[in-house]
Structure 1
């Protein structure tokens, strides 16, 4: 298995929670993180080596990433595993899967690349690379079946992990917050590149909100110590360290549950916020050169997963130059104070949660076993 970042590590761990009891003595290895390790997964390379996002950012790390893939490829071709599972990270995994499939090794890809959003031509390469696709959104299964690629809709694993009715009071108690506090959670991203480009604007947004309400409390969860240290360095360099922030390592779900509103970088985290039924503003910044290339490649008017699933601008999105502290602060302020909007969003997000709720661990594990037995 190969997972390339924190969200993939969590998704893969959900699959392993169903698969490990079925294959208690199997060697499961490749590239993964701490959540996968809880199920006896052995990571042969550090996962954070693959956690790079953005066209030019990836190019700067290409030699190292390519070297890891070549070494892993040689190892797997020699080992001939019963199955290889690429978890997201399509730019890394699909090339690996093409070679493994040609060598007769069954390949499964867990989480479809966003071919319905951009780069739809990749489905031809996916057909070469993938023996079976596990998809997490209901509309994806038909796309693959029409292309002749076996696919199974497994639901979104986060829909099972996140409760239908989050316990706000318990989350605030755990974090030492008053029950009646007004809380804004800020999620600039888990990748170092996301933290680099989003942090300053996101914390400057908090500073503007404090001018409107000095009693607001801000939570910023970080994936790990490395990300936390880098975040602190950026805040200090931008002279924003006077903004009162409760900075924490881990506890992202607790921080989201405790929030009244969330400022979140586009990605899986935006879906997590929706499943917690929280109003949000989605924003994203990246290297200017990457944005110049990528902004013309999308098929849809939305970039946030909640909006894509709903096919509607349920929540505001601000990208690149539009992701200014003023724009984000204005949008967050409206969501903090518009009770009718909060109720509408809660209902839409509850409906979304129910649509995505399946026995993900059980269904995905069975698909893996079926692929092994078919071989």
Structure 2
């Protein structure tokens, strides 16, 4: 297959996968200058030259039971994409995270002889370990972003490459707090709490109100506190504001910013954050944080019995201990969250110890992920 004829299909279903796959595309483009990249992706993948056949937002959904009302719609998108790819026969299919959708698609494509790469490894070490059997059938090569994952997949007979975490490259080892505050119009000596209730609509549904109520309680303790709330897009911002109005919280003084989550984290003295990739971003910025998580009650009852370890936050999982608090479901009350953030704001020595732990973590995750992931894909398609 000659360079100009190479076609690679990719699917990302949410912002974190869009970011990860964009790094992979950045590594592939110089190696395959005439290649065609298409499928489903977000703005960062599109910036790297990918053509998204379906808006990525159409795939975004959260929780177990929340999927049910949209199952037929999502299955239809998956089936149409499968049929198209079976007809086109790309050199490989690359699933960027979003395992519920991508692994099923990958299994069908691989059965038909199309090589599949999954990026990143599903967290079978955290829950749903039985998924490894499906991965064995579906994935030609797994790309993982945490060092301990490599042995897990190798022992299961799944070809695997540890590529490091892309965020470890994009986030500076020493964040520029002053520059971030200038960019956001914050006073250099202000005490700043960044509030991150999530980028998905389902996260905002369950976390926006309690997070802002926690901010309200914190402000009662220190009226000088400033609160920054980064929003992933106009849709999220509109929904967030709608929730605040319904809850009577529209007058809580918040500095809402569109995008700019990294500036918002860099500027912070502490962060209240929804569980997910954002917790790792906060750790790489060396910031104290309180991690919170709430979902539909039925989803929670299932998920809490499926976990294999006591942590859900990525910083705690990587540290193998509770280096930062986790407040889950019923425990994620405004009072508990505000108390935990306040304790961090008052503990200067604890913040310094945490910054050193997170610096060590940053070094352990630092690789040239674009090059490592691109090399792995090139080997899969026979171009290495």
TM range (shorter): over 0.9
Residue matched to 2:36: 27
Q: Deviations over 1:239-261 (max 9, x none)?
A: 11111001111000000000000
Q: Deviations over 1:192-230 (max 9, x none)?
A: 100111000000000000000001000000111000000
2:73 equivalent among 54, 60, 64 = 64
Superposed displacement of residue 374, structure 1: 6.9
Structure 1 CA distance, aligned partners of 2:381 and 2:308?
Answer: 36
Counting only pairs closer than 5 Å after superposition, residues 224-263 of structure 1 correspond to structure 2 as: 224-263=233-272
1:183 equivalent among 192, 196, 201 = 192
2:146 equivalent among 131, 137, 152 = 137
2:186 is aligned with 1:166 = no
2:322 is aligned with 1:313 = yes
1:154 equivalent among 147, 152, 163 = 163
2:68 is aligned with 1:55 = no
Q: State the secondary structure of the residue aligned to 1:308.
A: helix
Q: State the secondary structure of the residue aligned to 1:181.
A: coil
Structure 2 CA distance, aligned partners of 1:277 and 1:156?
Answer: 16
2:116 equivalent among 104, 107, 110 = 107
Residue matched to 2:333: 324
Structure 1 CA distance, aligned partners of 2:230 and 2:47?
Answer: 21
Structure 2 CA distance, aligned partners of 1:228 and 1:42?
Answer: 26
Q: Deviations over 1:91-117 (max 9, x none)?
A: 000010001001110100001111000
Structure 2 CA distance, aligned partners of 1:101 and 1:339?
Answer: 53
Structure 2 CA distance, aligned partners of 1:317 and 1:226?
Answer: 28
Structure 2 CA distance, aligned partners of 1:290 and 1:125?
Answer: 22
Structure 1 CA distance, aligned partners of 2:117 and 2:236?
Answer: 31
Structure 2 CA distance, aligned partners of 1:25 and 1:262?
Answer: 43
Structure 1 CA distance, aligned partners of 2:23 and 2:85?
Answer: 23
2:376 is aligned with 1:367 = yes
Unaligned runs of 5+ in 2: 1-9
Q: State the secondary structure of the residue aligned to 2:321.
A: coil
Residue matched to 1:92: 101
1:291 equivalent among 297, 300, 304 = 300
Structure 2 CA distance, aligned partners of 1:268 and 1:38?
Answer: 21
Structure 1 CA distance, aligned partners of 2:216 and 2:238?
Answer: 20
Superposed displacement of residue 46, structure 1: 1.2
Residue matched to 2:85: 76
Residue matched to 2:280: 271
Structure 1 CA distance, aligned partners of 2:33 and 2:256?
Answer: 38
Q: Deviations over 1:84-141 (max 9, x none)?
A: 0000000000010001001110100001111000010111110000000000000000
Structure 1 CA distance, aligned partners of 2:298 and 2:128?
Answer: 18
Q: Deviations over 1:12-62 (max 9, x none)?
A: 111111111111211101000000011110111111111101011011111
Structure 2 CA distance, aligned partners of 1:319 and 1:61?
Answer: 26
Residue matched to 1:197: 206
Structure 1 CA distance, aligned partners of 2:30 and 2:191?
Answer: 43
Q: State the secondary structure of the residue aligned to 2:125.
A: coil
Corresponding residue pairs, total? 375
Counting only pairs closer than 5 Å after superposition, residues 30-41 of structure 1 correspond to structure 2 as: 30-41=39-50
Q: State the secondary structure of the residue aligned to 1:121.
A: helix
| TM-score normalised to structure 2 length | 0.97
Unaligned runs of 5+ in 1: none
- Runs of 4+ more than 2 Å apart: none
